[in-house]
Amino acid sequence: MATKKFTFDPDSESSYSSNLVINTGADFNANFEVVSVANTAFDFSGDNAVGIATTTGWTGSSQMAKSVSVGSTSYAVATFSVGFTSAAGGKFKISLGSTDTRSLTEGRYVYDVLVSSGATVYRILDGNILVKPGISSAP
């Protein structure tokens, strides 16, 4: 999958939307590149150009569900791995292994990606996921 580049403005309190497709039984990876409103890399490795000071760096989390959670009840059917492939360059990826995608049921889902530094948490990305069943199986 090609890298999707988007602008993140923490003051807007708005996430970027990107729809994804997952094929059951296959490894899934989605790569993203985040830039600030000044069109410079959003630095996830430390203090960055938008004035978010951090001494701990950033972490990410992401889940997918059939519908949006209500209250404290979580309906997550899968939890993505979130990795910063170039923290200083604003690059990260979300992924699921083939074992995880094999257990998904065909249909439409929602997902989001949260990034945080200390007590500061942003919903940076969200969207829909179409899960498509496979016909063949891996050898």
Q: Phi, psi at residue 34, to the nearest 5°? A: -110, 130
List the domains of the chain with CATH numbers.
Answer: 4-8+15-132 (2.60.40.10)
Is the pLDDT reported for residue 47 higher than 70? no
Which range, of 60-64, 71-75, 120-124, averages the lowest pLDDT? 71-75
pTM: 0.86
Cβ atoms 64, 78 nearer than 8 A: yes
Q: What is the pLDDT of residues 7-32, one digit of tens each?
A: 998 888 889 999 999 999 999 999 99
Confidence of residue 49 (pLDDT cuts 50, 70, 90): very low
Residue 118, pLDDT score: 76
Residue 57 is predicted with a pLDDT of: 72
